[in-house]
Amino acid sequence: MLKEAKGVNGQLELYEHKVIIRRKGKLALLTQGLKGDKEILISQISSIQFKKPRKTNGYIQFAFLGGLEAKRGIFQATEDENTVVFSKARQHDFEVIKSMIEEKMMEQQGLRTSIPNSKPVTDYDELEKLAELKDKGIITEDEFQAKKKQILGL
Question: Within a 10 A sphere around the Cβ of 37, how many other Cβ atoms?
Answer: 12
Residue 107 pLDDT greater than 70, yes or no: yes
Whether this model's pTM surpasses 0.75 = no
Burial environment of residue 28 by CB neighbours within 10 A (0 to 12, 13 to 18, 19 or more): buried
Judge whether 74 and 57 are in contact, CB under 8 Å: yes
Q: What is the CA radius of gyration of the chain?
A: 17
Closest CA to 103 of 48, 22, 142: 48
Residue 20 pLDDT greater than 80, yes or no: yes
Q: 38 - beta bridge partners?
A: 21
The architecture of the domain spanning 3-88 is: Roll (2.30)
- Output phi, psi for 68, to 5 deg: -120, 75
Quick one: average pLDDT of 17-23?
A: 91
- 114 — pLDDT class (breaks 50, 70, 90): very low
pLDDT in tens, 47-104: 999 999 999 999 999 988 765 554 555 555 566 888 899 999 999 999 999 999 999 9
